[in-house]
A and B are shown apart, each in its own frame.
Chain A
Amino acid sequence: MTISEKIVSDLVENDVSFVTTVPCKQLAGVIDAVDAEQSIYHIPSNKEDEGMGLCAGAYMGGKRPAIIMQNTAIGVTINTLVTLTQYYRMPLPMIISYRGELREPVACQAEMAVHTKALLNQLNIPTYHFHEESDVEEFDAILKYTFMCNKPVAILTDASFWGGYGE
């Protein structure tokens, strides 16, 4: 089972059936796997705050949602995370590509990378960092934790976790 298949399989096991995505090169495989999974309604969004609105609605409509996005989105979504997801106490697993970490080829990505954990920490968002391939084993427990506590939870997945950029 690939990492992407394991992530989607855990989503299904945890009854997550509504997933919104904003693409990142690093996440292409898991987005494809989400799209191929029949039990998940995959709804691409044009911006991550829009996606969080969709997820809030889906949750209130009775489905368990998740969002897949790049870490640059933290800069886009702070207001939404605080005044929607957290204020109304809604669960939201956020599977995030942690661009700008080791093996990153694009210098600009390092600029948001240095702020990512600090911002998540400032927002009191529980944050997990997947660096080794085996870290994916915790994903199931993280999903259970997210829907237990009704909080947005960040899973940062870096280039080493995904096997690099083919360098």
Chain B
Amino acid sequence: MIRSDILKEILPILRDQLVICNIGLPSQELHMMDDQPTNFYMLGTMGLSSSIGLGVALAQDKTVISIDGDGSVLTNFGTLPTIANNVANNFILLIIDNGSYGSTGDQPTYAGKKTSLTAVAKACGCQNVVECKAEDTAKVLQAAIDSKQMTIIVAKCESGNIKVPVITKDPVVIRDRFMNAVRA
């Protein structure tokens, strides 16, 4: 399975939740498959999906899922200690770990080599860290939501991309409708 296969499988779960989606192909794939006002698409700023998601989770009570990638977590490694030390039990960080920088041509990341993001997250003090196979992602994600415990999921999958159009929505529109969905 590749990232878009995982997204397709978890769409029914994501639909009812606030979702912060990582820059590049993940946002474009989610936008193409199931655009929702509860989705915040990152159009720039690689690495900050987890930080934005944690901020939303700390500011209100609804469940927030940040969809991140291994490359983006490597870009913003400082996020893991911050998450560990500021527990928001309505926050789930879903790292889709395909061991590559998918949006830029599948260059390998260190997470696909010697570095285990699961081990790093645990070492940073995160308490509920679950590594799973791609095909188990939906089950693990639903269990994390039901547990009402802050959870870091590292879903391992193969690298590879599908053809998707870029997002042409205005950023202020994306932000405004997301904020309305938060308040709804």
Interchain nearest-CB distance for A140 vs B (Å): 23
**B42-73 interface code vs A (CB 8 A; 1 in, 0 out):** 11110110111111111110000000000000
Residues of the A chain whose Cβ atoms lie less than 8 Å from the Cβ of B171: 87-89
Contact, CB under 8 Å: A50 / B79:
yes
User: A54-B55, A83-B45, A87-B43 are known contacts. Are A61 and B60 too (CB-CB below 8 A)?
Assistant: yes
Interchain nearest-CB distance for A156 vs B (Å): 24
Partner of A62, one of B48, B59, B174: B59
Central interface residue in B20, B44, B81, B179, by most chain A CB within 10 Å: B44
**B81-108 interface code vs A (CB 8 A; 1 in, 0 out):** 1100010000000000000000000000
Q: CA separation between A136 and B47, bound complex, in Å?
A: 35
Q: How many residues of B contact A (CB 8 A)?
A: 33
Interchain nearest-CB distance for A130 vs B (Å): 27
Contact, CB under 8 Å: A43 / B86:
yes
Contact, CB under 8 Å: B183 / A90:
no
> Is A57 an interface residue, CB under 8 A from the partner?
yes
What are 20 pairs between A and B in contact, CB < 8 Å? A46-B78, A46-B79, A46-B81, A47-B76, A53-B45, A53-B48, A53-B51, A54-B54, A56-B52, A57-B55, A60-B40, A60-B175, A60-B178, A60-B179, A61-B59, A83-B43, A84-B45, A87-B44, A88-B172, A88-B175
> Is B182 an interface residue, CB under 8 A from the partner?
yes
Return the chain B residue nearest A44 by Cβ.
B82
Q: CA separation between A50 and B79, bound complex, in Å?
A: 7
Contact, CB under 8 Å: B172 / A57:
no
> Is A31 an interface residue, CB under 8 A from the partner?
no
Q: How many residues of A contact B (CB 8 A)?
A: 32
Contact, CB under 8 Å: B48 / A61:
no
Residues of the A chain whose Cβ atoms lie less than 8 Å from the Cβ of B86: 43
Residues of the B chain whose Cβ atoms lie less than 8 Å from the Cβ of A57: 20, 51-59
Residues of the A chain whose Cβ atoms lie less than 8 Å from the Cβ of B82: 43-46, 50, 54
Q: CA separation between A41 and B81, bound complex, in Å?
A: 17
Residues of the B chain whose Cβ atoms lie less than 8 Å from the Cβ of A50: 47-48, 51, 76, 78-79, 82
Interchain nearest-CB distance for B156 vs A (Å): 25
User: A45-B78, A46-B82, A53-B52 are known contacts. Are A61 and B58 too (CB-CB below 8 A)?
Assistant: yes
> Is A63 an interface residue, CB under 8 A from the partner?
yes
Interchain nearest-CB distance for A35 vs B (Å): 13
Residues of the A chain whose Cβ atoms lie less than 8 Å from the Cβ of B45: 49, 53, 79-80, 83-84
Q: CA separation between A80 and B43, bound complex, in Å?
A: 11
Return the chain A residue nearest B66 by Cβ.
A57
Interchain nearest-CB distance for B122 vs A (Å): 18
> Is A98 an interface residue, CB under 8 A from the partner?
no
